[in-house]
Amino acid sequence: MLDMDRRIAPVRRATFGVIALCLLLSGPWLGWWTIVPVVLAAIAFRLAEKHVEQAARPEWALFAAWVFSQIIIASSVALTGGPTVPTMAWLAIPLVTLGARFSERGIALGVGITLVLILAVAFGVNADAVIHSPPLLIAPIGLVIAVALLQSVLMRSDVDTRAEAIVDPLTGMLNRKALESRVTELTQQSKMTHQPVGMILGDIDLFKEINDTYGHAAGDAVLKDVAYTLRKALRAFDLVYRVGGEEFLVLLPGAETEQTKGVAEELRTAIAATPAGGQDMTMSFGVTASAPHHSFDYEELFAQADAALYQAKHEGRNCVFTPDGPAVPVLA
C-alpha cells in the first residue's frame, strides 16, 4: 500500500495541477476563487505524504486524506453551480486511485462516500434542476459506479500479479523480494520515529534429516505446517518472511530486545507443541533489536541474529539466543 502510494504521489500532484488549470481557464465563467478548494486538497495530501510513513495505521491516514479531497472537490462543485455544471464528473477522478491502495471494502466505502456527496451537492444546491432533468444526477452516478467497477477488476489483477512476485508459493509466506521492500520502509521510518526494530531469525532443527529420510515431499509438508504455525502464533500485523530453505525471519517494528525475545519464545513453544508434516519438530531462534533512537540497520541486525542463531544450534537446538546469550536459561 505504501509502495503504491509513493508511485501515485507524483501523478496525483499532476492531476491536481490539471484540475487547477481547468478551473483557471474557466475562471471568467465560474469565478477565480474556485481554485482555492483544489489547493486545499493538494495541501492535505502533501501533509499526509509526509506523515503516513510514521503513522501507526497508515491506511487510515491515507483514506482520511482521500475522503478530505472528495469533500473539497464536492464543495468546489457545489460552489460553482452543483448539478448544472460539468465539474460534477470530477468526483469520479479520485476513485481511480482507490483500487491501487485499498481492498474491495475500501473501494466500496469510497464509492458510497462519493455517491452521498453527489446526492448532497445535487439536492442541496439545486434540487429543482435535478427533478426537472434527472440525467444531471444519473450521469455522474453512472460514471462513478462504472469507474469503480473497472478499477476493482484492475486492482484485483494488480494484487494477484504483485502477490505472485512477493509470496513464496510453497509456504504462502512473503519472500526475499517482499523483505527488501519492507526493509527500505523500516529504514526510512526509523529515521523519523527513532523507534527500535526487533528481528527474529528462526531455523527448523534437523530439517535435512526429514528430507533424507522421508523425501522432499515430506519436507515440503513440514515447511507448510511450520509456516502456518508461525503465522498463527504472530499478531495479524507482524510479518514473517521465508529467507532460505528452512529459515524464516520476523521483523517487529517498535519492539526492543526483551519484547523480541518474548515473541521468539512464544514461536519456539508453538512449533515444539504442534506436529508438522506428521513429525515432531523444533526450531532454534536468534534474536536482536536495534537500539531506541538509532537508525535501523538491517545488515548489522541480520548478522547479529544469524550469529545468535548459530549459537542456539550449537547449544543443543530448540532454544532462543541473543548476541549476549540465551533468552531463557537453557536446561542441561
Active site residues: 246
Cα separation, 291 vs 310, whole angstroms: 22
Residue that the C-alpha cell 535435512 belongs to: 208
Q: Which residues are CB-neighbours of 220 under 8 A, at least 6 positions away?
A: 170, 277
